[in-house]
Amino acid sequence: MSQEEERQRSSRVVVETPTERREEHYVQTRRVPEEGSGHSTGIVAAVALTAIALTALIAYFLMNRGSDTAQTNVNVSAAARPAPTAPPPVIVTQPAPVTQAAPPPQIIVQAPPASQPAPVVVQQAPDPNAAAAAVEAKVSKAISDDKELGALGITATVIDGTATLVGIVKTDAQKDSAERLAKRVQGVRRVDNKLLVEGQP
């Protein structure tokens, strides 16, 4: 044998029974593959798994192809069938129901009310935040429109009629000028001048 080697094993067994004693001879033959010949279990398993995967893939494509064909057949048969026509209407004639004459309409006259109260006019109090924002915008505009102060980036905030000026100016004269401009705006009752002069502590 070229790829397999045959191995034999023989054994002798003595069998004793109550009536007799006999000796039996057994021969066992086993084929063992030669080393380095044949295929490993891993390769066989890989081939088997590949075959199963290919079979599943082919079955999947065949099932999908069949469903597309069935859908096409349904569409073709639906298009080939003529559209159903509605059955003719059934007309049933019945005698007209007898109705009672409607009672004559009633006319109701209402007298106008004796006196109506005067309409109540509710005036809303002005929004203090809106008023403060408007005054703040006026102060900021007055400062930014000034030729000297407009480029200095002075910030003005107004709360409860108090205008607070924050920023850096070059001279004391500019600081005083900004305060005067803010005081001239209507709605400003007081000015909190927090402007800093460059070079002064």
Same domain, 190 and 137: yes
Query: Is 113 contained in some domain?
Result: no
- Judgement on whether residues 185 and 159 belong to the same structural domain of the protein: yes
**pLDDT one-digit tens code per residue, 67-76:** 555 555 555 5
Q: Is residue 10 part of a domain?
A: yes
Domain coverage including residue 46: 39-74
Residue 5 near residue 38, CB atoms below 8 Å: no
| 167 belongs to a structural domain | yes
For residue 190, is it within any domain?
yes
CA 148 and chain centroid, separation: 54
Q: Is residue 8 part of a domain?
A: yes
- The stretches in the chain having pLDDT less than 50 are 1-3
Report yes or no: 148 and 180 within 8 Å, Cβ to Cβ.
no
Q: Are strands 155-159 and 162-169 parallel, antiparallel or unpaired?
A: antiparallel
Number of other residues whose CB lies within 10 A of the CB of residue 102 = 6
pLDDT of residue 68: 56
Residue 162 lies in a domain: yes
**56 and 17 housed in the same domain:** no
Instruction: Give the dihedral sign, CA 130/135/138/143.
Output: negative
Question: Which tokens is 102 given?
Answer: 């409607």
Residue 126: predicted pLDDT: 61
How many Å apart are CA 138 and CA 22, to the nearest integer? 132
Kindly report, residue by residue over 100-132, the tens digit of the pLDDT. 555 666 666 565 566 666 666 656 666 666 777
Residue 148 lies in a domain: yes
The total domain count for the chain is: 3
Length of the chain: 201
